[in-house]
Amino acid sequence: MIAGIDLGTTNSLIGVYESGFPTLLADSEGKRLIPSVVFYPENGIPVVGREGLRMQALHPERAAASVKRFIGRRFGEEETEALSGPKGSPVTLPINGKNLTPEQVSAEILKTLKVVAEERLGTSVNRVVITVPAYFNDAQRAATRRAGELAGFVVERILSEPTAAALAYGLDRLQENSKVAVYDLGGGTFDLSILRLDNGVFQVLSTHGDTRLGGDDLDEAIAGLLLREAGITALTLEMKVRLKEAARAAKELLSNEESTAVLLPFMEGSKSLEVPLTRSQVEEICGPIIARTRAHCLRALEDAGLKSEEIDQVILVGGSTRMPLVQRLVAEIFGKQPNLSQHPDEAVALGAVLQGAILEGNLRNIVLLDVTPLSLGIETFGGLMNVIIPRNTTIPTKAGEMFTNAVAGQSGMKIIILQGERELAGDNWTLGSFQIPFPPLPKGAARVGVQFSIDADGILQVLARDTVTGSEKIVEIQSAVEVSDEAVEAMLAGSLEHAIEDMDARIFTEARLKAEEMLPAVKVALEQFGSELPESEVLDIREKSSEVQAALASKETTRLNQAISSLDDATQTLATKLIERGMG
Amino acid sequence: MNPFDLLGLSRRPLLSDEEIGSAYRKLAGESHPDQSGGDAAIFREISEAAAILRDPSRRLRQLSGSSVGSQLPPEADQLFPRIATLLQQADNLIKKQAAASNALAKALLAAPIKNLRADLDSTLNQLHKWKTSLDQELAKIDSRWPEHDPNAVSLLADSYTYAGRWESQLRERKLSLDCI
């Protein structure tokens, strides 16, 4: 039996194919949705799920939540700024004095799902299909696969979430020939995939997304709003967790109600947080975040070579698509009402179950033709990316390149593998590098063919073949940084000590860059349009510019940030005038 | 085997995306390694064949047997300077816009971006007209097929390469501007 798992940012689910139907399995409390939270008690085994969530509220420093956002990532990337560690090495989470990898934490969630399924079925469950965001890169997919293996599973397939959802949607519509878009906005990630459904064949035409955009970001934004409204500044970690929970609850409630009130007793000493909240307030603060999904929709349409009116159905999945704001945006982008037939939390898991049934031969005449979301290439001389497998190529796929020796007797050559869409090699994600061995031959006489293959999981394998001798070998790709465990430990210990200093320095640098960009802009704008403003306003702007300069010189971060923000406010009218002029 | 035979399509210059896609889905569905009796090697060959045929320039090169870049189409020669400049301007502005962290700096860019958008639109329009004329030429060649002038086929293939690449580059910049 092959089970299907949706390993989500906030919640996870498991299911199996039983007597001709995909079924999701409930835990002992009768719940199918298992929170993706792992709590590490001082002694004893980790606690996962709702119990983990309850414990997190009491001891947040011992809990790992939303760990999917870190899986397959390295320190120094945008997403991991909250964590500090040696730049470029795989992310670890400091919990209870230990550095845990996201794979280890995810494995705990998967183990719990395994137990849920085995208790419910009375038999062991060893083989699984696990879903990942379509826009996950090679490292994120490989890390998810490793998490499955750590949990004791044989991972039969890593499947893209929107593709899984399309499968769940299309199961009852196998005779149809249609074009569908799946808009998947979950707890931490966003994907938009466009598929062609044609007599049981599910062909992905294109996919785009953002692996750092989801309900989590909305909760953060709402929590920030609540704090500002309540005038609370200092917060303990416990309070942060409570506040975010309250923000999430309010967000969910406001999908159905027009207004609510958030009440959190004893937030700051004896001070309670009590804030009335309306749907329109939440929509105003979440609007810009949700709007970021538009670009991905447009790009996916462009890549599929389709216009929005050619899409027959837009299927919504992921918990965040319950928000009326999201549904309105989707309707506006695609020019039609979205299809709400799928359960937002369950469609992906059901699709994973169906893919398991396909692999076992229990579901015939259905097949998924998925694609690789990101272009794969190698770094060329001059630091550019040479694309070898373009994005949206149907997988599994293979492509080859021939290499030769540039000088006589050269023994090898280093190849750097890249994934991404940017022209400059350095702007893309470096998957790693490998060495092509050359036999000692005159210049240009060596011939080594390198074959890049992307398997059905979307994971890369590299094979080198010496065409002179005919010998072949699977090339081991070195991860982007090669540091031993001890070296990582040492670097971590060092960097943690400096983390606080680094953080302050970084915040000041950010503020300084902002100021240095702003001052000349203010100068130019005043020169061009100063005469159209009342003199008092010009004076005000000049005064606030001087304060920014003074704050810059003082090197005080807080003062500089305040000065920048008041200059920003003072130049509002000026900015509006400029835009009017630009559009006119 | 050549891509036309692999997908069971006739060896002609004019093939619709729908014809190719439909033949591809049927055969790819049967040969996908997840299916019993599937074969990964055959699946890849079919996928590659479909990718070649969907691209009119690669399809024409299959028919004419010529390789890329043998001649520069006069339209491409004429359009190139304008497109190169436009791409450079666009990248420059997109970079500035992304870096602008305050309302005032963003506002200063509003006018140049508006002008760039208009330039992009008019050049895309020009490219579109060129592509339409290429499609007409393709239909003309197809109507006389298999009789054909190998040079004309090869020139058409090159023209499609340039037009297609430039169109996607300009559209990409336009999308980036729209999405900031």
Sheet with A201-210: list strands edge to edge: A313-317, A177-185, A190-198, A201-210, A367-369
pLDDT of residue B68: 57
In chain A, which residues have their Cβ closer than 8 Å to the Cβ of B18?
none
Q: In 3D, which of A30, A22, A19 has the Cα closest to residue A6?
A: A22
Predicted confidence band of residue A481 (pLDDT cuts 50, 70, 90) = very low
**Mean pLDDT value across residues A527-549:** 88
Whether residues B111 and A572 touch (CB distance < 8 A) is answered with no
pLDDT at A495 over 50: no
Whether residues A579 and B107 touch (CB distance < 8 A) is answered with yes
**Mean pLDDT value across residues A498-519:** 73
Whether residues A582 and B29 touch (CB distance < 8 A) is answered with no
Higher-confidence position of B30 and A496: B30
How far apart CA A103 and CA A458 sit, in angstroms, is 18
CA atoms within 13 A on the CB side of B15: 28
pTM of the model: 0.87
% chain A with pLDDT above 70: 93
How far apart CA A192 and CA A211 sit, in angstroms, is 11
At A258, is the secondary structure helix, strand, or coil?
Answer: coil
- Nearest-Cα distance to chain B for A506, in Å, is 16
pLDDT at A500 over 60: no
pLDDT of residue A239: 85
Calculate the average pLDDT of chain B.
Answer: 91
**Mean pLDDT value across residues A382-397:** 92
- Nearest-Cα distance to chain B for A528, in Å, is 10
Whether residues B175 and A295 touch (CB distance < 8 A) is answered with yes
In the numeric block, which tokens belong to residue A106?
């995810």
Task: Say what the ipTM of the complex is.
Answer: 0.92
Contact between B76 and B162 under an 8 Å Cβ cutoff? The reply is yes
**Mean pLDDT value across residues A313-341:** 97
pLDDT at A483 over 60: no
Of A299, A397, A575, the CB nearest to B44: A397
Sheet with A448-454: list strands edge to edge: A397-403, A448-454, A460-466, A472-475
Candidates B102, B169, B179: best to mutate against A (most CBs of A within 10 A) is B102
pLDDT at A449 over 50: yes
Tell me, rounded to whole angstroms, the distance of Cα A359 from its chain centroid. 27
Per-residue b/e over A41-70, b at no fewer than 16 CB within 10 Å?
A: eeeeebbbbeebbebbeebbebbbbbbbbb
| Dihedral, A80, A85, A87, A88 alpha carbons, nearest 10 | -70
Domain ranges of chain B: 3-54, 74-179
Q: pLDDT tens digits, residue range B146-164? A: 999 988 998 999 999 999 9
| Angle (CA) B105 B111 B114, round 5° | 120
Contact between A153 and A128 under an 8 Å Cβ cutoff? The reply is yes
pLDDT of residue A153: 97
Distance (Å) of CA A141 to CA A135, A206, A556, B36: 10, 18, 43, 26
CA atoms within 13 A on the CB side of A141: 27
Contact between A16 and A4 under an 8 Å Cβ cutoff? The reply is yes
Q: Where are the alpha helices (DSSP H) in A336-443?
A: 347-360
Whether residues A397 and B47 touch (CB distance < 8 A) is answered with yes
Q: Which amino acid is at A520?
A: P
Contact between B137 and B156 under an 8 Å Cβ cutoff? The reply is yes
At A97, is the secondary structure helix, strand, or coil?
Answer: coil
How far apart CA A107 and CA A130 sit, in angstroms, is 12
pLDDT of residue A503: 61
pLDDT of residue A358: 96
| Dihedral, A162, A167, A173, A176 alpha carbons, nearest 10 | 70
**Mean pLDDT value across residues B16-21:** 95
CA nearest to B167 within chain A: A302
Predicted confidence band of residue B25 (pLDDT cuts 50, 70, 90) = very high
pLDDT of residue A488: 44
pLDDT of residue A445: 85
**Mean pLDDT value across residues A399-419:** 86
% chain A with pLDDT above 90: 60
pLDDT of residue A360: 95
Predicted confidence band of residue A443 (pLDDT cuts 50, 70, 90) = confident
**Which phi and psi angles does A429 have, rounded to 5°?**
-80, 125
**Mean pLDDT value across residues B140-149:** 93
Topology of B3-54 in CATH? Helix Hairpins (1.10.287)
pLDDT of residue A498: 47
Q: pLDDT tens digits, residue range A181-221? A: 999 999 999 999 999 999 999 999 999 999 989 999 999 99
CA nearest to A421 within chain B: B172
- Domains defined along chain A, listed by start: 2-213+288-369 (3.30.420.40), 374-475 (2.60.34.10), 485-583 (1.20.1270.10)
At A224, is the secondary structure helix, strand, or coil?
Answer: helix
Whether residues A579 and B110 touch (CB distance < 8 A) is answered with yes
Q: Out of A73-87, A348-362, A479-493, B14-28, which region has the weakest mean confidence (pLDDT)?
A: A479-493
Higher-confidence position of A400 and A329: A329
In chain A, which residues have their Cβ closer than 8 Å to the Cβ of B22?
198
Distance (Å) of CA B124 to CA A81, A482, B83: 40, 46, 10
**Mean pLDDT value across residues A276-303:** 95
Candidates A190, A201, A522: best to mutate against B (most CBs of B within 10 A) is A201
Tell me, rounded to whole angstroms, the distance of Cα A532 from its chain centroid. 46
pLDDT at B180 over 70: no
List residues of A with catalytic annotation: 6, 68, 161, 184
Angle between helices A485-529 and A572-583 (to 10 degrees): 70
**Mean pLDDT value across residues A539-544:** 92
Predicted confidence band of residue A470 (pLDDT cuts 50, 70, 90) = confident
According to DSSP, the β-strands at A37-39 and A376-379 are: unpaired
Predicted confidence band of residue A414 (pLDDT cuts 50, 70, 90) = confident
pLDDT of residue A1: 92
pLDDT of residue B105: 84
Calculate the average pLDDT of chain A.
Answer: 89
Predicted confidence band of residue A82 (pLDDT cuts 50, 70, 90) = low
How far apart CA B63 and CA B156 sit, in angstroms, is 12
Q: Which amino acid is at A394?
A: T
Helix (H) or strand (E) holding B54: helix B40-54
pLDDT of residue B7: 97
In chain B, which residues have their Cβ closer than 8 Å to the Cβ of A364?
36
pLDDT at A21 over 70: yes
**Mean pLDDT value across residues A509-533:** 84
